[in-house]
Each structure stands twice: as C-alpha cells, then as structure tokens.
Amino acid sequence: MIDGLLQAIPTLGPLTWILVGVAAYSLAAYWLDERGLVPDSISVSGPITTIHTKRGRAFLNWLAGPKRFWRAWTNVGLGATLVVMVGMFVLLLQQGRMILEDPPAPSPVNEPANVLVIPGVNEFLPLSVAPEIIAGLLVGLVVHEGGHGLLCRVGDIDIDSMGLVTLAVIPIGAFVEPDEESQRAADRGARARMFAAGVTNNYLVTIVAFALLLGPIVGSIAVAPGAAIGGAQPGSAAAEAGIDGGDRIVMAGDREIANGSDLDAYLASSSDTEVTVTLGDGTETTVERSLLVTRVAGGSPFDREGAAGLDVNDTITAVNGTTVRTERGFREVVGNRTSVTIATADGDTTTGPMGMVVRATAPDLPGVGGEPGDHPLNSSAGFPSRTPFTLLSIDGQPTHTAADVTAALDGRSAGETVEIVGVVDGERRSATVTLVDDYRENESGGYLGIAPLSGGEYSGVGTSSLGVDYYPAEGFLSLLNGDGGVGVVAAGGSVLGLVLVVLLLPFIGAVGGGSYNFAGFVAANRNFYEITGPLEPLGGGVFLLANLLFWTGWINLNLAFFNCIPGYPLDGGRILRACVEAVVARLPVEDKHTLTRAITTSVGLAMLASLLLVVFGPELLN
C-alpha cells in the first residue's frame, strides 16, 4: 500500500498539491490560534488570513495634502469607472443571454480552474513567470487599497486599519477599513471618489506598465534568426532526431535558415534523405527524413472515413509503389497523375484522385458574371455550388496546386470556354464552362469562380519530411510593438486596441484558433528572441523586465475591470449604491432605503447569474 501511495505522489497535479498545502496550513493556523499563539493583529478563518495594522496612517495624511488634486484625479477615474461599469453590465448580460440561447462548446478559457489567478493551476499562467505574476498582483493590490486609504483621508474619513488578505501564504487581496461612522457622515461624492480611487490607480499602473513595455522594452527585443520550433509532431523525423519545442534551426545542410519559410523552401527543394541541421546553440543533428502527414483538409478525398484514407501523423512510405521520403520526391512521383495510391508505414494503402480541393465562390451573388445563374459552375455544369470538390484538370492541364490553376487560366478572357474535370462525392465529372468577368477589384481576365480550401493543394494532404510546428515568434512581437504590421491591423490602428490585443495574448491560441499562447518571454520561447539597441548590456534582464511589465499591466487592468462589476462588495457595487442613493433621494417615495436596496440587489444578482453562466454555462448546458 505504501509503495502504491509513493508511486502516486509524482502524478498529483499542481491544483492537488495546492489544496493539500492549503489544508495543512488551515490545520496549523487553527492549532496555533486555539493556543493563543496568533497575534491580535492577525485574524485566521480557515485558510483565509487577514493581517491588520494601523501603521501608515500618518503617511496617508501627509500624502493627502493636495486635496484638490486628488479630488480632480479621482473625478476622472470615477467617470471612467462609471462608463466601464455600464459596459460590463451590458456585456455580461448579453453574454449570459447568448449562452442560454446557444451554449458554446466548452473551451479552456471558461474552465473553472482557469478563472483562478494561480500560476500552474491556470493553464494560461505558467509557473515560469510566477514571480512576475505575483509581483504584478502585489502592485495591483497595494495601489488599489492605497487609493482607497488615500481618498479616505482626502474626504476626511477616518481609517480603522489597513492590511493584507492571504489564502494560506498566497496574497489574494488587501483592504482598508474605513471608520463606519465617519464614512456615513461623509457626503456621497467623497464616498464615490473613495470607492473609485482603487480602480483609478489600477488604470494608471496599467498605462505606465504598457507604455514602458510597448515602447523602449519591446523596442529592444528582436526575433533571433532561424526557424523557431514550437514542437515536434509524434513519430516525426524531428522527434526521432531529438528536436523539440524551444529549439531554433539556423542551418539546414549548407543553407542558412532565417525563418520557417526558409526551412520549408529548403525541404521542398532538397531530395536528400538525410539532412544535417544546426541549432541556435551550435548543436548539429542529422535527421533521417520521412514524409509525415501534417494535415488532411476537410473535403479532401483522402480524409479518413472508416479504415480508408489518411490521418494526421501517418507516415507516407510510397506513392504508386515508389518509395518517397521527401516533399520533392512526393511531387515527382505524383507528376501529372490525377489518381494515386498512397501507402503508409502501418501497412495501409489508399487510392484517390489527385487535384485541388476547391469550392465555388459566391454562387448566388449577383455581379459574378452579371446574374446568379451566370456563375460558371451553375447547376447545369454538374458541380456543387457550396460543397467542396476535387478539381483534377482545366483543359487537360492537371491542377494539383493553386499555381497550377492560375497557369491554366493565364491569358484567358471572359466568354472563353474551358473543360474542367473533377471528382464530386467519388464520382468523376467533366463539363465545358464559360469564363466570366472577374468581380474582384484589381483583377482581370477570365474567372472560373472557384477558390481553394485552406490547405487544398495535393487533394488537401499536407506533408512534412521534418514534422515540426513553428512558433509564431515574429507574429507575437509584431502584436506587441505595433510596428505597422500585424499589431496595428489587429488593434484597429489604435493604442487602446493594441492594449486590448496584448490582454488577449495569454490565451490568444484558445480564442483565435492558433496553436500557441503568449505568456511573456518565458523559458519555452526565450531562445527565439535577442536583445538589441541601447538596452543590450542588460542581456536577459530585459526579458525579466518585459515579463514584469506585461503581467503588472495585464493584472492591474483585469483587477480594474473586475472591480467595476456593479455587484456588492466590489467597488462597482458600492459606487452603484452611492449613485442610486443620489437618484432615489430626489424621488417622491417614502421608503428610500428599501428602494435603493431593491435596485442594487437586483443588479448584483443579475451580474452574479451572468458571471456564473459565463464560467460554468458552456460545461453545464452542453
């Protein structure tokens, strides 16, 4: 039994270990509290510990000296908070309604564990940047509660105590306890400014952090030359050679590699069955190439249904009986054939048409040839208007790739006829169709009215003789620096949009359909970047500073948005109460307190229900 328990220990996940630690802390804290060994300034309630202090009030009194400035500052913050409050209320209600009407499929973004800001438990917050995340959280808590304390003194509200809240030993909050009698005596404006002060300070920290990050820090970081490897696919030649995520290929054979496109071009042109690659750290590795299936597009005639067809991670060993191990070898054996037989390493063979997987473009849209019925692939042509099919040839010219289609139509004009051959649902069809005017801007010549599906070349079968995924190092850096490329386009050309893009980076792979998220310059991707410019002497310290600024800005803005939710006991709920009291005070009703409580409670319950739907709805309603 003991041996079995010891073997199970390494398999426990981070969340389990945290729960075990929290339970142990709770028992120890209870034992110490029962024996009077816990100071009066520390309050223990299970795993929650609050540390109270009266120190710092003199400093707040001194800092609150320029009261007019602080009132003006928090008036700006209060206005921004009210706008965000209304936006959060409307957004969460809309999200809740949409989830009820059409529950989305569960995704990692709304997993309950990923709501927790705990590195290692939340899959988007890696342990490698836990110190920076905790530092950013501490900054956020201190400035937030410090703002409340400062505006208490500006509004002449006394402070009973200040302190820190921890879950076991992990800081999860801070607090300022205003004197209740003094708070009730203050005017509503002073109370509203006091409640908005924390959020306002979080906004300021976000602005400063992102200004430094997106300015001088990211400006000193460049993409290192080479193909950035995000991972090697199981069973691939790269995996067999020990190449894995975090490696950077700077040379293949005798060719220098600047990026993934360079490596793909080399692999596509080389017929060598062995290739020596050099990694960024100088390591040389010999790779025995084998042709791995990396993609089978939807609509491909080789898409596996039952036992036939191909699957991702199958290894192609032969085409029409000829051994192939490289991309070039595959192309040469396929040649001009419109049907091939593919054998895989597991002993299976599959035969299918070889062409381009396409779909008709805008078959019912007026303007493509004039009227909807004028589309070249109208019903009389015998090809589907909306479902994919495999285009084998145009006027006898095989069409395996988009370049083949372009070459076959080159020089043709609207009104000319061409014979097309294709496969629809396993049936070979041919038709003579009339080309039309190209409706696309800046395009001329005869238009066939087809578009390749994503990955539609070679019947939608994608292959790689190396079998690696590329990490989008350049794309992430472009999103961060907004250098006129991807970052500016994704952000809509605005600074605010760029900040919102940065906020999405930790889970951009989950929401944007990509393969990778960006959690900062961490161990998994740091090898893909280098330091340049005036900050070069700092070396790796620039990455540390970038991570600290990234997570400080990210956490502070999320703290601000969360506290703007108009539900008690959040700041938004307290501001809502102050605003409702100000409106109800002017209404001709007798029981103003009951009406105020009814309105604020209704709003708070609506927000709570919406939050629960957003977090748990996709899982419970599917």
pLDDT at 415: 82
Q: List helix spans (H) across 117-254.
A: 130-154, 180-185, 188-212, 237-240
205-209, 268-272, 333-337, 504-508: segment of lowest average pLDDT: 504-508
- The reported pLDDT for the residue numbered 576 is 86
User: Which one-letter amino acid corresponds to residue 17?
Assistant: W
Q: Among residues 166, 112, 105, 221, which one has the least CA distance to residue 473?
A: 221
Residue 102 binned pLDDT confidence (cut-offs 50, 70, 90): confident
Task: Give 381-424 pLDDT, tens digit per residue.
Answer: 678 777 889 999 999 999 999 889 889 888 888 888 899 999 98
Kindly list the distances between the CA atom of residue 440 and the CA atoms of 64, 368, 589, 594, 619, in Å, as whole numbers in the listed order. Answer: 64, 9, 64, 63, 43
Q: What is the pLDDT of residue 495?
A: 59
Radius of gyration of the chain (CA): 31
* Domain 234-290 indexed as CATH 2.30.42.10: yes
Residue 611 main-chain phi, psi, to 5 deg = -60, -45
- The residue among 319, 309, 328 whose CA lies nearest residue 270 is 328
- How does residue 487 score in pLDDT terms, banded at 50, 70 and 90? very low
Contact by Cβ (8 Å): 431, 425? no
Alpha-carbon gap, residue 227 to 258, rounded angstroms: 6
pLDDT surpasses 70 at 177: yes
Domain 356-453 of CATH type 2.30.42.10: yes
Q: Which region among 306-310, 463-467, 558-562, 615-619 has the lowest average model confidence (pLDDT)?
A: 306-310
| Mean pLDDT calculated for residue range 298-321 | 84
Cα separations in angstroms, 331 against 269, 334, 339, 458, 494: 10, 5, 13, 9, 45
| Secondary structure percentages of the chain, helix, strand, coil, to 5 | 45, 20, 30
Q: Provide the sign of the torsion angle of the four alpha carbons 112, 114, 117, 118, taken in this order.
A: positive
Q: How confident is the model at residue 485, as a pLDDT?
A: 37
Answer whether 0.75 is exceeded by the pTM.
yes
For residues 566 and 572, the answer to whether their CB atoms sit within 8 Å is yes
The answer, yes or no, to whether residue 490 has pLDDT greater than 50, is no
Q: Could you tell me which residues come within 8 angstroms of residue 431 by beta carbon, excluding any fewer than 6 positions away?
A: 381, 382, 383, 419, 420
Q: Quick one: 379 exposed, middle or buried, by C-beta within 10 A (0-12, 13-18, 19+)?
A: exposed
Residues 6+ apart with CB under 8 A from 255: 262, 266
d(CA 85, CA 575): 9
